[in-house]
Amino acid sequence: MLKPIISFVSPVYKCRDCLEKLVLEIRKACETIDVDFEIILVNDKCPEDSWEAIKELTKSTPEVTGINLSRNYGQHSAIEAGLSIVRGQWVVVLDCDLQDHPSALPAMWEKAMEGAEVVLVKRDARTDSWLRRAFSKTYYAVLSYLTGQKIDADIANFGLYQEKVIAAYNSWSEEQKYFPVMIQWLGFKQTTISVKHNERHAGKSSYNLKTLLKLGTNVVLSFSDRPLWIMSMIGGLIAALSFFFGGIYLIWALLGGSDVQGWPSIVISIWFLGGANIAAAGLIGIYLGRVLREAKERPSFVISEIASHQTGK
């Protein structure tokens, strides 16, 4: 096949009913700007058996290639799997539920033709509940501080990326790769457009509080050592306060004001300092565990099967 101009990469999980519509909307968008394209659908071990639907699409649509992962690795590993086989000069990463709507492609393409190497899409007027939006802003504010990278709650994976940007991303060998943070860290010529946040075509989000906290922890630990600095500053502050109040107590004792009724404060201090030490040791242990995982160089994903119009599978 001729090398396509644009490759679309979409992880698939719990959204089997979106796939046919997604392919149709991508085709419409590409016809608008008259470019050749390919679509890579990555089945992240979807419990709805989306792999069968993807294989049917590869038979009827030559532009579609399907990747079936050996197990559920998570959204960002699924994105990485799709990016590992893209052939396009440009790459669009988008969710399969059509909240990231392909109709934004012409506006993204216009920015790319003006010289942008990365076109990020900001979701305007999000359709999520106010509670989810508030939690999202708080979550990303904390994540931004701990990683040292500004992470906008309204900007996710959806965007248009030049081939060399994706090549740089693929060259980064780490087990935990969080796509939007790494893209911002890489730099290149970036711009942002705002688009309407569409309703989900089918299915529901697989992200809940537990998965978000787990993802956030993995991002922070793999991308930043700031928690270690925070713990060091807390330890230094405790030491300074202990020295200060110890000096006051010494002067008080020398002036004859000491008594033996201070055991509650002593016990509380011991418990507090003991807890702080255990927390610090635990944090260091977590980082050492992360180093061990990276040293093993295990893959972020394992591909079980690839289906395309050419293979007939």
Tell me what the mean pLDDT of segment 183-208 comes to: 69
Q: What is the pLDDT of residue 170?
A: 87
Give the whole-angstrom CA distance, residue 256 versus residue 2: 91
Tell whether 147 is covered by a domain. Answer: no
Phi, psi of 89 (to 5 degrees): -75, -25
- The verdict on 284 and 303 lying in the same domain is no
- The verdict on 68 and 186 lying in the same domain is yes
Per the structure, the count of domains in the chain is 2
Tell whether 217 is covered by a domain. Answer: no
- The verdict on 185 and 59 lying in the same domain is yes
For residue 92, what are the domain limits? Answer: 6-129+153-207+299-308
> Is residue 303 within a helix (H) or strand (E), and if so which, with residue range?
strand 303-308
- The verdict on 85 and 186 lying in the same domain is yes
- The verdict on 166 and 17 lying in the same domain is yes
pLDDT in tens, 98-114: 888 888 889 889 998 88
The answer on pLDDT for 116 being more than 80 is yes
Tell me what the mean pLDDT of segment 183-211 comes to: 68
Which CATH number fits the domain that encloses residue 37? 3.90.550.10
Q: Please state the length of the chain.
A: 313
Q: What is the pLDDT of residue 265?
A: 62
- The verdict on 157 and 236 lying in the same domain is no
pLDDT in tens, 210-237: 665 665 666 666 666 667 667 667 766 7
Give the Cβ contact number of residue 13 at 10 Å: 23
Tell whether 142 is covered by a domain. Answer: no
The answer on pLDDT for 121 being more than 90 is no
- The amino acid that residue 262 corresponds to is G
Question: Which residues are CB-neighbours of 43 under 8 A, at least 6 positions away?
Answer: 12, 13, 50, 51, 54, 66, 67, 68, 69
Tell whether 1 is covered by a domain. Answer: no
Under 8 Å between Cβ of 142 and 227 = no
> Is residue 210 within a helix (H) or strand (E), and if so which, with residue range?
helix 209-223
